């Protein structure tokens, strides 16, 4: 869920290191590997189309291939690795993949829906250090949660997973994609997280599906409500301090971040999957150079966001424009409206 | 045996990474310290880390520091012992063992 960002390590030295050395040398320090697109839930907002399990298994990277890729990314300087999906815990060899990543000295973040966490998995994770989980919590009641996931009993499974982690003091945070379906429960989820002493965040922009379907976008809450919730949850509007005018790609993707899909395609981010580089046909190092070329392309003179004063308030990016408008350059109306409201609110603060 | 005659040894449960010429220590096992954090080493720290092999005595490493950097023996020894003790605290090295062989 969400785009590439450097994990907050809370360590000032590391932040200096990222700004002074990693960014300057364009080191791929922050990676995500989607080890499968299979998932046990059928979330209504998901940007990934459902997959046929057997076909997916046949095509997915094997454990050996994943280990080989992990060795290469470590060689090139990766330090933080998200293991994501689909639902990564659905793979039988998930713990083996996790172990390989840990033994290579990666800080691992497992992006999961939490429903497949068992005491056995948690006991194993507990032996390790420098990892955490990011659990998507879609609602705080069975009714809302399962309206999103489409699977009866999934709420109970998720809460069970959360309890298993809590009992063992395993570090995790909660994230919720904001939708009309769960809008009324966001503050309750925040309260729940607060009681448990867990970090919580929500994503206000629901993405179109990567196959071009805009069906999930119908679940977006009104722009005003999204910003209102931001203020209530975070006490401020969201700002993207890293954004600059006259650049097409502003995020970390292709500069210090990358993503790999379950079939070995190196991609810029979850939304930008074409063009890509097939790691089954070449090295990560070559692929990284390939991503860099995509990332550094300049916007055309006609680029509407070029001189926008509200760019630091805006969630839009070329990948989202591509999915929503079928080109890299046109502003995404929803993100644009939110940016204007954020800018306005910001003036009054 | 005095501290400087001991041979510190890297803990196998900590992985050192070299990224952009910076040495970063990543504790990977839960029993290594309590800290869920990664550690960056400065130039001298990285030099010392490279010399720790479970065979070299602290005093040998001190001599190497004096040869490599512009520093007095006393200062090098004080800083080295302090650094190795810090590494012990974060689980970077096993408590300095006795001299081998």
| pLDDT tens-digit series, residues A263-298 | 999 999 999 999 999 999 999 999 999 999 999 998
> Residue ranges of chain A with pLDDT lower than 70?
1-11, 243-245
A71-75: long-range contacts at Cβ-Cβ below 8 A with a sequence spacing of 24 or more?
A: A71/A104, A72/A279, A72/A283, A72/A284, A72/A285, A73/A28, A73/A31, A73/A258, A73/A284, A74/A104, A74/A105, A74/A106, A74/B17, A75/A284, A75/A285
Burial (CB count within 10 angstroms: exposed 0-12, middle 13-18, buried 19+), residue A209: middle
pLDDT at B99: 52
pLDDT at A304: 87
What's the average model confidence in pLDDT over B2-13?
91
Q: How confident is the model at residue B91 (pLDDT cuts 50, 70, 90)?
A: confident
pLDDT at B37: 81
Of all residues in chain A, the one with the smallest CA distance to B26 is A105
pLDDT at B101: 43
Domain A25-303 has CATH 3.20.20.70: yes
Q: Which residue in B14, B38, B40, B86 has the most chain A C-beta atoms within 10 A of its own C-beta, making it the best mutation to test that interface?
A: B38
pLDDT tens string A66-112: 999 999 999 999 999 999 999 999 999 999 999 999 999 999 999 99
The answer to whether the CB of A29 falls within 8 A of the CB of B19 is yes
pLDDT at B3: 86
Of all residues in chain B, the one with the smallest CA distance to A11 is B37
pLDDT at A7: 43
pLDDT at A212: 92
pLDDT at A16: 84
Token pair, residue A287, equals: 């692929």
pLDDT at A5: 40
pLDDT tens string B49-90: 999 999 999 999 999 999 999 999 999 999 999 999 989 888
| Nearest residue, CB atoms, A27 vs list B19, B36, B40 | B19
Which residues are within 8 A (CB) of A170 and not within 5 positions of it... i.e. 6 or more apart? A122, A125, A126, A133
DSSP state at residue A128? B
For A225, what's the count of Cα atoms within 13 Å in the CB-facing half-sphere? 13
Q: Which sign does the torsion angle of CA A106, B25, A11, B34 carry?
A: positive
**Pairs of residues, one from chain A and one from chain B, whose beta carbons lie less than 8 Å apart:** 65
| Nearest residue, CB atoms, B17 vs list A79, A128, A132 | A79
A40 Cα distance to chain centroid = 18
The answer to whether the CB of B5 falls within 8 A of the CB of B57 is yes
**Higher pLDDT residue, A303 or B34?**
A303
pLDDT at A6: 41
DSSP state at residue A222? P
pLDDT at A228: 96
pLDDT at B33: 52
Q: Residue A132 in 3-state DSSP?
A: strand
pLDDT at A323: 95
Q: Which of A196, A86, A97 is nearest to A136 (CA)?
A: A86
Query: A77 vs B37: CB contact, 8 Å cut-off?
Result: no
**Is residue B98 scored above 60 in pLDDT?**
no
A271 Cα distance to chain centroid = 10
Q: Which CATH code is given to the segment(s) B3-93? A: 1.10.10
The sheet with strand A30-34 has its strands ordered as A200-203, A172-177, A131-136, A107-112, A80-84, A30-34, A257-260, A265-267, A277-278
Q: Which of A223, A135, A240 is nearest to A183 (CA)?
A: A223
Which residues are within 8 A (CB) of A144 and not within 5 positions of it... i.e. 6 or more apart? A138, A181, A182, A184, A185
pLDDT at B96: 60
Q: Which of A294, A292, A311 is nearest to A246 (CA)?
A: A311
Nearest chain B CA: its distance from A128 CA (Å): 4
């Amino acid at each position: 869920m969400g785009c590439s960002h450097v994990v907050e390590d809370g360590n000032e030295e590391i932040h200096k290191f990222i700004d002074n050395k990693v960014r300057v040398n364009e080191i791929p320090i922050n990676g995500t590997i989607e080890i499968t697109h299979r998932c046990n839930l059928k979330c209504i907002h998901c940007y990934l189309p459902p997959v046929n399990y057997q076909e997916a298994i046949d095509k997915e990277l094997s454990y050996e291939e994943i280990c080989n890729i992990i060795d290469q990314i470590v060689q090139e300087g990766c330090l933080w690795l998200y293991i994501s999906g689909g639902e990564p815990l659905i793979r039988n060899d998930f713990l083996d993949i996790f172990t390989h990543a840990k033994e290579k000295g990666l800080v691992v973040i497992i992006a999961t829906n939490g429903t497949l966490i068992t005491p056995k998995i948690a006991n194993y994770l507990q032996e390790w250090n420098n990892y955490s989980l990011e659990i998507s919590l879609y609602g705080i009641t069975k009714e809302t949660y399962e309206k999103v996931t489409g699977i009866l009993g999934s709420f109970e499974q998720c809460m069970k997973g959360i309890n298993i982690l809590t009992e063992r003091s395993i570090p995790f945070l909660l994230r919720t994609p904001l939708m009309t379906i769960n809008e009324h429960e966001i503050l309750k989820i925040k309260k729940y997280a607060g009681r448990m002493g867990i970090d919580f965040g929500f994503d206000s922009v629901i993405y179109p599906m990567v196959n071009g379907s805009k069906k999930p976008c119908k679940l977006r809450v009104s722009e005003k409500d999204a910003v209102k919730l931001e203020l209530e949850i975070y006490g401020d509007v969201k700002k993207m301090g890293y954004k600059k005018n006259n650049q097409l790609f502003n995020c970390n993707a292709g500069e210090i971040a990358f993503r790999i899909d379950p079939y070995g395609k190196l991609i810029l981010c979850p939304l930008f999957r074409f063009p890509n580089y097939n790691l089954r046909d070449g090295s990560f190092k070559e692929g990284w150079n390939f991503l860099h070329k995509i990332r550094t392309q300049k916007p055309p003179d006609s680029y509407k966001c070029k001189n926008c004063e509200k760019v630091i308030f805006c969630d839009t990016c070329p990948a989202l424009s591509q999915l929503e408008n079928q080109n890299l350059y046109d502003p995404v109306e929803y993100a644009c409206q939110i940016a204007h409201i954020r800018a306005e609110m910001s003036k009054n603060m | 045996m005095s501290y400087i005659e001991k041979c510190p040894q890297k803990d196998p449960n900590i992985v050192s990474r070299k990224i952009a010429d910076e040495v970063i220590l990543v504790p990977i096992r839960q029993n290594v310290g309590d800290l869920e954090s990664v550690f960056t080493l400065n130039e001298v720290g990285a030099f010392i880390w490279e010399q720790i092999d479970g065979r070299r005595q602290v005093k040998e490493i001190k001599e190497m520091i004096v040869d490599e950097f512009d520093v007095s023996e006393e200062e090098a020894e004080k800083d080295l012992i302090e650094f190795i003790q810090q590494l012990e605290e974060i689980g970077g090295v096993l408590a300095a063992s006795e001299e081998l062989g």
